A and B are shown apart, each in its own frame.
Chain A
Amino acid sequence: MLNLLRMDLYRIVHSKSFYICFGALILCNFMTFGILLLLTNPTLRDLIMQYGAELSAGSDQIKEALSTASILEVYRQGTIGGGLFSVSTGILASLFICTDFDCGFIKNIMAAHENKWDYILSKMCSLILINLLYLVGSFITLLPLNLISGGVFAWSSTADILFYLFSAWMVTNGLSALTMLICIVTRSKAAGIAGAICLNGGLIVMILNALLGLFGLQWLTKYSLYVNLASLPSSFEGNYSLQACITGLVFLVIYTVISKIVLTRRDI
């Protein structure tokens, strides 16, 4: 497994998609931060309104809302909550895994590794590492922005930041395992990317929520990965705050085991 992990890490470092997805994430971070910065500045706010922008909230309301916003809240709203982060990592995971099947390199891997766990665990470890790098990296880029803009947004405590990032990491790992399963079942980049957009972006959960609502079962979606990611607690407030971490972990294990079973049963 370690040999394959070494191979996968080498491949990640040498692939453009790793940097492109990260770049897109950072760019969106910058844009979110920039828009929020515009709203906090009355002169700039008036300027964009002159150019046709419409704001439903008044300047006092905006000022009040943003004065209490922390840097963690900005990160949550801009990167995690809307599904941007999970979709980016999902797309990267799809490209990363499906390319093995598309180009046929999987033959070289499977000819050398009889144990299918080697492949599954190596891929999962790689995705977990990518998620961690992306999370920490994209959050860290917000810090100098806030510093340069004179600390417009309140600084969050280190404990809150660590708890939030850890929870987001755990849930995203579950979503990555789901993307891996889709890729191993379909062996198609298109299906993997579509799955990453629909599932990680919350589209399927929203449809499911509406359908389950007809039978009064919408509470079930509380245990979905998307809902847990979108409503992550900003700080640790008792054991119930760990629900997202546990949900992420459980789905990670389930999807990883199913992926291994599917890979074992199907020929290359």
Chain B
Amino acid sequence: MNTEYAVRTNNLTKIYGTKAAVSHLNMEVKSGDIYGFIGRNGSGKSTTLKMCCGLVHPTEGEISLYGSSVKDQTARRRVGMLIEEAGLYPHMTARDNMVLNAKCLGLTDLRSVDTILDLMNLSGTGKKKVRQFSMGMKQRLGIAMALLGNPDLLILDEPINGLDPEGIREVRECLIRLNAEVGKTIIISSHILGELSKLATRYGIIKEGELIRQISRQKLEEQCRDYLDLKVDDADRTAALISEHYPEAVYEVFGRNQLHVFDFQESAPLTALLVQNGIAVHSNSLHRMDLEEYFLDLMEGGAHHA
């Protein structure tokens, strides 16, 4: 059994009526990854994740979980999921819901129920019915249910929706711990990109049903590096001057008139140096890019980047 990839999809397509919700999607999630799945509302994130959980039948294409088909019962048992809202019986307690899910999974030892409730800070809810829970508590219980049966892969669709900042931090720390200590693979989608950037080791960006980019955290950080954008009349001479005076500086030349000097904050001395050497500086600006900006940039010109 191939365990290098937790999830691999091949030309995954889902068509509702005449509209393709997901189109020829090839996603690769390696074992041990925390895969941040990003896309606008209605871009096909939830449909893709539902297909990975076997809740929606693909119109075309294949999904493999740890090298086996998604239809394989054994492979499915390795997946824990929280898709959209947590599926909970409102008239029952948190523990009852957990016990029901444990029975559904065929677990006979119910000690894990209490352990996981404790882990998600829900052990004190006692006889309180789920319908009286706050949104955050429901989401935490949803994550707790996903953890039942000790799955190798967690598929979490918007798990931090409705959580307060403290709740978000708790969930983040819990997921990082599960990934680092127990080696769980996690696919997580969220609109809170700043939060996602604190978690994910790899990203998949989906736009209008198509996966327009998959990128590792390392590569993303490289692409999102701060840089000084210089527009000058002679880029080659500027480059030579920078090399001479700032030997550690990393730069990239674009055409005859533009340079990017990476991780460089000292714009004033550099501008003075260039002017002193007779180079006309038309503009200089410090450019910063975070995941959100990168995402928005891709959404606006996704086709060009892909």
Contact = CB atoms under 8 A, between A and B. Distances in A.
Interface of A: 3-4, 6-7, 10-11, 14-16, 99, 103-115, 267-268
Contacts of B105: 3, 112
Q: Secondary structure at chain B's binding surface: helix, strand, loop or mixed?
A: loop
Contacts of A108: 81, 87, 101, 104, 145
B56 A111 contact: no
7 contacts: A14-B96, A103-B90, A108-B104, A108-B145, A109-B104, A113-B104, A114-B73
Given A14-B96, A110-B55, A268-B56, A105 B103 contact: no
Contacts of B100: 7, 10-11, 105
Contact of B87 (A6, A11, A16, A105): A105
Contacts of A267: 50, 55-57
B88 A110 contact: no
Nearest to A122: B104
Contacts, number: 73
A227 to B, nearest CB: 36
Contacts of A104: 84-88
Contacts of B101: 108
B85 A111 contact: no
Given A103-B87, A108-B87, A111-B79, A4 B104 contact: yes
Contacts of B92: 11, 14
A112 B104 CA distance: 8
Contacts of B87: 103-108
Contacts of A113: 73, 104
A99 B54 contact: no
Most-contacted residue by chain A among B85, B90, B97, B104 (CB, 10 A)? B104
B50 A3 contact: no
B124 interface: no
B50 A268 contact: yes
B76 interface: yes
